[in-house]
């Protein structure tokens, strides 16, 4: 009777800890629990198996995570709704598939889940580094609210709402392909999305700094309402409606190539589009100040109906019609020329 009471007491304490961790969104508690559990069951992982069917899905998820940490076996994780809750993984999951709410709050490093396929709500709130998810395919709500660094998602393909509200740094998503609503509301720094290809509504409302999207190719409505600073989109190629309503400062789009309606209604300051090449209707209705378009080349109807001030287009080269109906003041066109 005493043993049964002790078991119940332990279960209740664990459920209380889980409840607090859930309420506070504290993934470190789940990871700490796995370290303790995996250490306790290191020589007897089979004793964790009964917990896979626990009525509390979170306890079952913790048990499967600790079991994997001891044995390397991913099957229990793949079979449970919250399988792999707070797991700490550095290898062994190449090419596997995860869905439902598997691997929430997981910490992945090394080559943990390279070329994996992740969907539904898998890997939400996870922390990923190394080359953990290189070449992975992520869709639905996978990896939302995750933190990614190193080369964690190199060459990955992301669609649906994958990586919404994520924080990405270093080279986390270099050379990735992102579509649909992927990476909306994300915060990106370092070289996080260097060389990436972004379409659909990907990266809308995102905040990008450093070299975050250098040499990227952006189309569709990819960066609508985004905020870009540093050299975030230097040397990028932007078409369709890619950066409409965006706010760009510092050298955010230096030497970029912009066409179609790419930056319509955008606000640009600093040296935001220094040395850029703009055609079609790329910057119509935009507001440009300081030296935002200094030494740029503008053709077609690129800056029609724009408002330009404070040396905004100094030393620029503009074709006939490119500035039609624009408002230019405070030496906005100083040293510029027409061709």
Instruction: Choose one of 87, 109, 141: the last residue of a domain.
Output: 87
* Same-domain check for residues 73 and 136: no
pLDDT at 100: 96
Residues 36 and 108 in one domain: no
Longest dimension (CA), the chain: 93
Cβ contacts of 192 within 8 Å, gap of 6 or more: 148, 168, 169, 170, 171, 172, 173, 174, 208, 210, 212, 213
Residue 23 has a pLDDT of: 85
Yes or no: say if 185 and 208 are a contact pair by the CB < 8 Å rule.
no
* Residue that finishes a domain, picked among 57, 87, 117: 87
> Whole-model pTM above 0.75?
yes
Q: Kindly state whether residues 52 and 166 are assigned to the same domain.
A: no
- Cα gap 334→316, rounded to integer Å: 9
Distances in Å between the Cα of 233 and the Cα atoms of 147, 148, 158, 194 are 21, 20, 20, 9
Q: Which of 87, 113, 128 is the last residue of a domain?
A: 87
User: Does residue 161 share a domain with residue 36?
Assistant: no
Q: Same structural domain for residues 107 and 144?
A: yes
Give me the number of domains the chain comprises. 2
pLDDT of 10: 78
Q: Per the structure block, which two tokens stand in for 173?
A: 């998503």
- Looking at the structure, tell me whether residues 206 and 325 fall in a common domain: yes
CA pseudo-torsion sign 77, 82, 88, 91: positive
User: 18 near 25, Cβ under 8 Å?
Assistant: no
- Separation CA 129–CA 147 (nearest Å): 8
Q: Are residues 49 and 127 in the same domain?
A: no
**Looking at the structure, do residues 143 and 45 belong to the same domain, yes or no?**
no
| pLDDT at residue 22, rounded to an integer | 84
Q: Which residue has the tokens 């898998």?
A: 122
Same domain, 71 and 100: no
Query: Which pLDDT belongs to residue 2?
Result: 40
Same domain, 204 and 327: yes
Along the 339 residues of the chain, how does pLDDT read in single tens digits? 345 455 567 788 999 999 988 888 889 999 999 999 999 999 999 999 999 999 999 999 999 999 999 999 999 999 999 999 999 999 999 999 999 999 999 999 999 999 999 999 999 999 999 999 999 999 999 999 999 999 999 999 999 999 999 999 999 999 999 999 999 999 999 999 999 999 999 999 999 999 999 999 999 999 999 999 999 999 999 999 999 999 999 999 999 999 999 999 999 999 999 999 999 999 999 999 999 999 999 999 999 999 999 999 999 999 999 999 999 999 999 999 998
Do 176 and 280 reside in the same domain of the chain?
Answer: yes
Same domain, 304 and 331: yes
The residue range of the domain holding 46 is: 1-87
């Amino acid at each position: 009777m005493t043993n049964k009471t002790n078991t119940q007491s332990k279960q209740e304490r664990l459920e209380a800890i889980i409840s607090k961790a859930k309420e506070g969104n504290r993934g470190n508690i789940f990871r700490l629990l796995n370290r303790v559990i995996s250490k306790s069951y290191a020589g007897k992982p089979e004793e964790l198996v009964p917990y896979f069917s626990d009525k509390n899905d979170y306890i079952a998820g913790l048990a499967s995570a600790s079991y994997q940490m001891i044995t390397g076996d991913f099957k229990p994780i793949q079979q449970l709704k919250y399988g792999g809750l707070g797991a700490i993984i550095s290898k062994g999951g190449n090419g596997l598939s995860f869905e439902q709410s598997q691997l929430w709050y997981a910490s992945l490093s090394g080559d943990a889940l390279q070329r994996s396929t992740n969907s539904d709500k898998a890997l939400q709130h996870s922390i990923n580094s190394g080359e953990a998810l290189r070449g992975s395919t992520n869709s639905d709500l996978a990896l939302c609210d995750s933190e990614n660094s190193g080369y964690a998602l190199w060459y990955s393909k992301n669609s649906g709402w994958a990586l919404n509200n994520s924080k990405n740094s270093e080279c986390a998503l270099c050379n990735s392909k992102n579509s649909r609503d992927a990476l909306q509301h994300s915060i990106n720094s370092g070289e996080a999305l260097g060389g990436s290809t972004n379409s659909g509504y990907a990266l809308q409302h995102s905040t990008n700094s450093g070299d975050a999207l250098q040499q990227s190719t952006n189309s569709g409505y990819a960066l609508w309402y985004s905020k870009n600073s540093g050299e975030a989109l230097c040397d990028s190629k932007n078409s369709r409606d890619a950066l409409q309503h965006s706010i760009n400062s510092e050298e955010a789009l230096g030497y970029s190539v912009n066409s179609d309606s790419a930056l319509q209604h955008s606000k640009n300051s600093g040296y935001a589009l220094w040395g850029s090449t703009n055609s079609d209707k790329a910057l119509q209705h935009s507001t440009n100040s300081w030296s935002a378009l200094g030494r740029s080349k503008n053709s077609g109807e690129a800056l029609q109906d724009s408002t330009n001030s404070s040396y905004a287009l100094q030393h620029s080269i503009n074709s006939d019609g490119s500035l039609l109906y624009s408002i230019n003041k405070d030496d906005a066109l100083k040293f510029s020329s027409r061709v």
